[in-house]
Structure 1
Amino acid sequence: MIELPPLVDQHCHGVLRTELGLGTFEAYLTQSGAPAAPGTTFFDTQTGFAVRRWCPPLLGLEPHCPPASYLARRRELGVLEAGRRLLRSTGIGTYLVDTGLLGDLTEPAELAAAGGAAAHEIVRLELLAEQVADTSGTADGFVANLAEAVHGAAQSAVGFSSVAGCRHGLALAPEPPGPGEVRRCAGRWLSGRPVAGRLTDPVLLRHLLWTAVATGLPLQLHAGVGDPDMRIDRTDPMLLTDFVRATAGLGTDVVLLHGYPYHRQAACLADVFPHVYADLGPALARTGSRARTVLAEALELAPFGKLLFSTGGQGLPELHVVGARLFHEALGRLLAEWVAEGVWSRTDAARIAGLIAAGNAHRVYGLEGRSDGGRGR
């Protein structure tokens, strides 16, 4: 194992504030929106096995104990104490929290307090636009209010995120849409929008991306696996090639999230474009014992100053735990192997590990000198 600085989890979400039953808990172990097949359980996945390997000892149980025993101990401790024990074991010193998921999830300051860490907000563009739509009666009002909302969010957030790939696909036209086109599409969306209706219009999604680019803050784009209702063939990050070419030199870094199974493509874009970065996010937790292979594949092409660590954890603090533990384990074993073979020096291995774990995120998001956004130490 290698020594790492406090990790920067550059993309994650809050955790649930409520106690969970077996069915609700295991639903978070998969990307599927459906229950497990009859007679099976989502604990019988790489993620489920990783949770049973790493989390029970943190709550005073033996590794690989039965799920029912683990959840009984979790309830015995209570959701707050169990969450505190789990999160404080991760080695994460800073959370960058995407607040765009609905549900009873902790806010960044709460996550910071539970984890004994710092936290900053990543603003989800689509949710922001939907909130603006709720209070905008006309297309002109929506466009003006959206510009103001994005500008206002940029004053305190450290970045923006978009799920345009999940809502429509990443094969969006690369250029910003014209004002007239934006107003027409906004009017059409507002007039036919149901209560709390989701934004899926490709023109408005492009407008959102370019509005965020204008702020100069890093822009996180989801790619690869994600929502169960999306088409994964539409989320290959190579579909973004024209967009990232169009944004080159504008001062906004583009961070490709959760690229698996397209992590090699994301690494390729990070290699070609100076302002493009990649992370693996929950891919390591989802692949479990195969995490080292996935990480090695990402390191094939991506410059080492262009890879970022994240857990992508949401709902369960256990997902933050396994994301951090599997990253540490996979990176440590991989670098130890390369040092033993003489292809890397020990000094270089330690330096690159520090960059991926935290240094690159500090540089991209300008975290040095920022207010911590809610510290729980």
Structure 2
Amino acid sequence: MGRWLALRSFGLALGLMFASGAFLSCSHCAVVGEASTRETVLCGVPSMGRIVGGTDAQSGQWPWQVNLNFDGHHVCGGTLITPQWLVTAAHCFPPVNPIDRYEVTLGAFQLKNPTPDIVVKQVVQVIKHPEFTDDEGSKGDIALVKLKESVPYTRTIRPVCVPASSVSFPKGMKCTVTGWGNVLTSTSLPSPMTLQQLEVPIIGMDTCKCLYNRNPDPEDPHVLHDDMLCAGFAEGKKDACQGDSGGPLSCRVGNAWVLAGVVSWGDACGAPNRPGVYIRTSAYSDWIKENIPEVELSEVKPNVEPVSEEDWIKNTVGEVDEGTCSTAPTLLFPPWILVACWFLPYIFGTG
């Protein structure tokens, strides 16, 4: 079976730096604090200075990360985009689960050690994308969740920026996936369940398809649709796992963080040739705007040079096991044989 509830979170994330300023505007900016110390909250900007990240995140480092609970148990992650709406994976809401038994925890850091500044809200509406089919790896695995009441923005509760449909994230760009998922396929995150972070590079779709075609399971085929995005490592070991579906893949553009993807699925946890698969947020930006008019979509352009796919393949994929995901055509015969065959008619006077 594949991995449906997905954020595989092990391995160290590299150092992350946050700037106190912001260059993106958003319609859901809010005022936080008393009149004498009020500040404007912009999407994608934590209220923190420089952070050197590791496996454990720090309190307030990812203030848009939310915890989705069903009957009091953590089931998925999610991302706050306005005071009353969040984005998550559609498969986090199977038809058998009544909506009124879900709750959302905002501002959480350690799930087993809640602090006084966390906020818990009930869910009143879930809008799944109409293309979602409840099948593992389905297209359209994205859902919008409306909270019963709006939440005030604080140091630990802030929205992420939502990219416009024109925004793309280049191959090789390093982004960060966060969540409270398993640390191994069958091993839960140990108490106090500290929020995990992992820096992963974006992988081109052609390369990702090639990786998933290596040693495929005929009984469990994997289809990568055009609304998906891959990120991770060909060698595995660092990945997402069960329990973090719906969580954010956040990419820093300038001084703010943008929601590049929503954790959707994968095959096992940290297995070679099986990077994490995310729903590409920009593919559904217009749909999000239609349902949540107050969202302002961010027109940003990541200033990152895309990594050569061939170099990436040569440096990573080819070292995993035999065979490579070469972008060049494969020759069945040595080149000299092909050349000799081309000249044979002329040699024997039949050309």
Q: TM-score range by the shorter chain?
A: under 0.3
TM-score between the two structures when normalised by the length of structure 2: 0.25
Greater CA radius of gyration, 1 or 2? 2
TM-score between the two structures when normalised by the length of structure 1: 0.24
Quick check: which one's helix share is greater? 1
